[in-house]
Each structure stands twice: as structure tokens, then as C-alpha cells.
Amino acid sequence: MPTSTTPGSPTGSTPEHRALQRRVVRVLAAGQVLGGLGTGATLSLGALLTTRVSGSPAWSGMAATTATLGAALLAVPLARLAQARGRRTSLSTGALIAVLGGAVVVTAAVLGSLVLLLTGLLLMGSAQALNLQARFAATDLAAADTRGRDLSLVVWATTVGAVTGPNLLEPGEAVGRALGLPPLTGGFVVSACAQALGAVVLLAGLRPDPLLTATALAAAQTHGPAGGATAARPVGGLSVLRSNLAARRAVLTVAGSHATMVALMSMTPVHLTGHGASLSLVGLTISLHVAGMYALSPVFGALSDRVGARAVVLAGQALYLGALLLALLGSEDATLVTISLVLLGLGWSASIVAGSTLVGSAVAPVQRPRLQGVSDSLMGYAGAAGGALAGPVLARVGFDGLAAVLLVLVLAVALAQRDGRAPGREPLERAEA
């Protein structure tokens, strides 16, 4: 049985609404493919271009850090925009901010300005923010028994672009040379074009807007034929977290699971190369890890609908446990480390798909966007903190010690699933965050 029924959820909707939901999922999936093309290419080029502009490899890690920070900073504003104007406006705005970021990055490369480059990468973090928000948009009109599946299909679509994007580096360089741009900037042109096309797809395809439609349906259900009831009003995401235990547990699940994955994954290349592994083996290990993150997400989404999201989160934490034990006991064996990273990716997929389903189930449709924005923001900050702290931990206690430390996070997320009360049943404060 599913874990819960969302308050105000448009369950039992008409065939017209079910058809609209199917179209929404297709449009979001297409947008994710295009967004993945852009982010897949730029993540591969960001560190290289930062090194070239700064003149030092010491700055190379700032590319991913700045983009991640940008995603965290933009998550809440984009969620507020969704609350006010709907998903169509919010998601397309996020894509256009990423287009602007790409233009700033290219300009920075021409001018040789590191500050301007990092600013552009910060803006390009909007692509990550809208990709995260898109998975929640897939649940706005979803029935309770298909919410996890619909969310996971949009997550899975990211795989297509993320895998294809890095393979567009050479064509991108050809485009850059044709335009007379500096080396390593052509991929950002490809990214900007993909994001612009994605904005067009979202603007044209998300009509009527899924969030606004879901909010109207929930209001109609709340009023009922007799009227007199008051529909839930928008509540700030932080206010929801203060007053709603289910929301706090769901957000902790997403943030904690993401921090665990980022911490171990980000240190794996350092650990492997430090023990003599070739770059090809490192690349294979990370590729298999990414495949684990996305390839089976529809399976975990379907399981969330069938057996409940909390059960799938616990399965994800069990996969994390296996990954960390392999890293702890087999840190000197490259094969075991690779298997550990595959399990880590699968654990992330199960935990994030099911955890995101719990976030969407915690409150009524009118209150979801801001809670989801806070969740995405905290997820980004947790990932950034996990990656930043993993380095000093690795230096002090080694890869196996890092794995042992991360077991604490796994335990915390697992314990957060023990409350059996249905999400969203607690009183919400009527205050803005």
C-alpha cells in the first residue's frame, strides 16, 4: 500500500486530468533531456575552463562547487515563482537564467575574467535547480498510486542528456571555432542552445499549468458542494518544517541521503588515483555510479507506489550500508570500490525518488512548491557540505574511515522513517517563512 494520500490531492480525477498528467510527464521528460544535454556538457568543461582562465588547477574544483551553490541559492526563488505563477513560468525562467549563465561564461573566457566565469557558473546552477523542481512538477496532478512512478520517469529522463552531453564536447568545440570563440567555450554554446530550446518546450507544453490546475482542484474539493470550508493557504517552506513532522522527516531523508552520496563519490577518484588506479578505471567507476543513480529510478518509483515510499527509503539506506561496508572493508581493492560506488548510486536513486515522493506527500498542493524549494535548497547545501568536509576526513582517517563516519548519516535517515503517521496530518502555521 502507498505510504499516504496527499491532502488535497486530485485523486479520482477525470479522464481529462489523467490525460493532462500524461502530457505533463512527457513535456517534463523532454525538458529534462534538453537540460541534461546542457549540464552534462558543462560539468565536463567547467573544471577545465576554470583552470585555463585562472591559470592554476587549484581553482578547478570551484566550477562544480559554484554551480552547486547556484542551484541551492536559486531553488527557493524558483519555488516562490512557481507558487505565484505556476510551474510553466518557474521552469522556463530557470532555463533562461541558465542560458544567461552560459553567455556570461563565454564572455568571461573571452575577457579572461575568473570572477565573471564563476558568476556565469553560479547562474548556470539554475539548470540543476530546475531539473530538481521538474521532478516535483511531475507529481502535481499525479494520482496517489502513480506519484512515485511519474516522478521517477522524469528523473530517469535526465540520464539521456547527462550521458549524451559529454559526448558533444568535440562538436561543441567545432561550433566554438566556427564562431571564433576561445577553446573550451563551444560546449557552453551548445548548453545555452539546449536550455533555450528546453524553455520553449516548457512554455509551449505546460498548458494548462499542472500546479495551478492541481491547486484549483484541491480548492474545489476542499470547498465541496456545500461550500463554507477554507482551502489551505500558501505557507512558507520553513514554517512547514517547523510545524510538520512528516515534512521534516522527508527533507532530512533527501538532504542526508544526498550528503552521503556526494561525500563518498567525490573522494573516490582521489582515493583510487592515490592507489595507482588509471584514469580510465576512475572514469569507468564514476560512469557506473551515475548509471546506478538514474537507470533504475522508474523501478524505485513504481515500488514507492506499490509498497510505500518509506519502505523504499529503507531499501536505499540498506544499499548505502552495503556500499559503505564494502568501502570500509575493501578500500584497497579497486574492484570492491567500484562495486561500492554502484551500490551507492542505487541507494541514492531509491532514497531520492522515494524521499522526494514523501516531500510531495507531506502537504497540500498549494503548500508544496515552497516546501519543495526549501528541500532542494537544503539538498544542495548538504551535498556541498558533504563534499567539502569529506576531503579533510579523508586526509585524516582515510577512505575506510570516511565510510565509517558516513554510517552515522545512514543511521539517522533510517531512524527518520520509523514514524508511521501519515504525512501532512499536522497543523500548519499560517505564516510566511
Residue 115 scores a pLDDT above 90:
yes
| CATH number assigned to the domain with residue range 237-415, chosen from the 4 options 1.10.357.10, 1.20.1250.20, 1.10.10.10, 1.10.3720.10 | 1.20.1250.20
CA dist 26 to 8, 48, 96, 197, 206, Å?
Answer: 24, 34, 20, 15, 10
CA dist 263 to 188, 233, 260, 405, Å?
Answer: 27, 38, 5, 10
As a whole number, mean pLDDT of residues 302-327 equals 95
Residue 306 scores a pLDDT above 60:
yes
Q: Which three cell numbers stand for residue 293?
A: 543513480
Our measurement of the distance from residue 52's CA atom to the centroid of its chain's CA atoms, rounded to an integer in Å, reads: 29
Greater confidence (417 vs 234) lies with 417
Q: Which three cell numbers stand for residue 10?
A: 486530485
- Amino acid letter, residue 267: M
Distance, in Å, from the CA atom of 179 to the CA atom of 157, rounded to the nearest integer, reads: 31
> pLDDT exceeding 90 applies to what percent of the chain?
38
Distance, in Å, from the CA atom of 129 to the CA atom of 97, rounded to the nearest integer, reads: 11
Q: Which three cell numbers stand for residue 228?
A: 463554507
Asked if 297 and 353 count as a contact pair (C-beta separation under 8 A), the reply is yes
Q: Which three cell numbers stand for residue 370?
A: 515552497
- Amino acid letter, residue 209: D
- pLDDT tens figures, 325-375: 999 999 889 899 999 999 999 999 999 999 998 998 887 777 778 888 888
Asked if 369 and 137 count as a contact pair (C-beta separation under 8 A), the reply is no
Distance, in Å, from the CA atom of 243 to the CA atom of 235, rounded to the nearest integer, reads: 11
Confidence of residue 99 (pLDDT cuts 50, 70, 90): very high
pLDDT computed for residue 224 by the predictor = 52
Q: Which three cell numbers stand for residue 396?
A: 585524516
Residue 101 scores a pLDDT above 90:
yes
Q: Which of 159-173, 205-219, 350-364, 381-395 has the lowest average pLDDT?
A: 159-173
CA dihedral 12, 3, 78, 16 (to 10 degrees): -10
Distance, in Å, from the CA atom of 10 to the CA atom of 19, rounded to the nearest integer, reads: 13
Residue 377 scores a pLDDT above 90:
no
pLDDT computed for residue 267 by the predictor = 81
- pLDDT tens figures, 131-188: 888 988 988 888 878 888 888 888 888 777 666 666 666 788 888 899 999 988 888 8
pLDDT computed for residue 228 by the predictor = 42
Greater confidence (287 vs 85) lies with 85
Distance, in Å, from the CA atom of 285 to the CA atom of 161, rounded to the nearest integer, reads: 19
Highest averaged pLDDT of the listed ranges 7-21, 226-240, 283-297, 347-361: 347-361
pLDDT computed for residue 63 by the predictor = 73
- pLDDT tens figures, 182-191: 988 888 898 8
Superfamily of domain 15-213: MFS general substrate transporter like domains (1.20.1250.20)
Greater confidence (228 vs 354) lies with 354
Confidence of residue 88 (pLDDT cuts 50, 70, 90): very high
Query: Which residue intervals of 86-185 are DSSP H helices?
Result: 87-111, 114-137, 147-164, 169-178
Report residue 292: phi and psi, to 5°: -65, -35
Asked if 80 and 373 count as a contact pair (C-beta separation under 8 A), the reply is yes
Return mean pLDDT, the chain: 83
C-beta neighbour count of 175 within 10 angstroms:
18
Place of cell 499516504: 4
Residue 279 scores a pLDDT above 50:
yes
Residue 71 scores a pLDDT above 90:
no
- pLDDT tens figures, 9-62: 444 457 888 889 999 999 999 998 888 776 665 666 776 788 789 887 667 667
CA angle 140, 146, 150 (to 5 degrees): 60
Per DSSP (E only), the strands in 121-184 are: none
pLDDT computed for residue 368 by the predictor = 78
Residue 104 scores a pLDDT above 90:
yes
Q: Which of 60-69, 211-220, 375-384 has the lowest average pLDDT?
A: 60-69
- Amino acid letter, residue 150: D
Q: At what angle do helices 245-274 and 279-294 cross, to 10 degrees?
A: 160
Q: Which three cell numbers stand for residue 347?
A: 541507494
Q: Which three cell numbers stand for residue 284?
A: 569507468
Distance, in Å, from the CA atom of 113 to the CA atom of 50, rounded to the nearest integer, reads: 10
Provide CB contacts within 8 A for 279, sequence distance 6+: 273
Omega into 208 within 30° of 0, i.e. cis? Answer: yes
Residue 253 scores a pLDDT above 80:
yes
C-beta neighbour count of 84 within 10 angstroms:
11
Residue 128 scores a pLDDT above 50:
yes
CA dihedral 381, 383, 384, 385 (to 10 degrees): 80
> DSSP characters for 43-76?
HHHHHHHHHHHHSSGGGTTHHHHHHHHHHHHHHH
Where in the sequence of the chain do the CATH 1.20.1250.20 domains occur? 15-213, 237-415
pLDDT computed for residue 222 by the predictor = 61
pLDDT computed for residue 42 by the predictor = 61
pLDDT computed for residue 6 by the predictor = 46
Residue 118 scores a pLDDT above 80:
yes
pLDDT computed for residue 167 by the predictor = 64
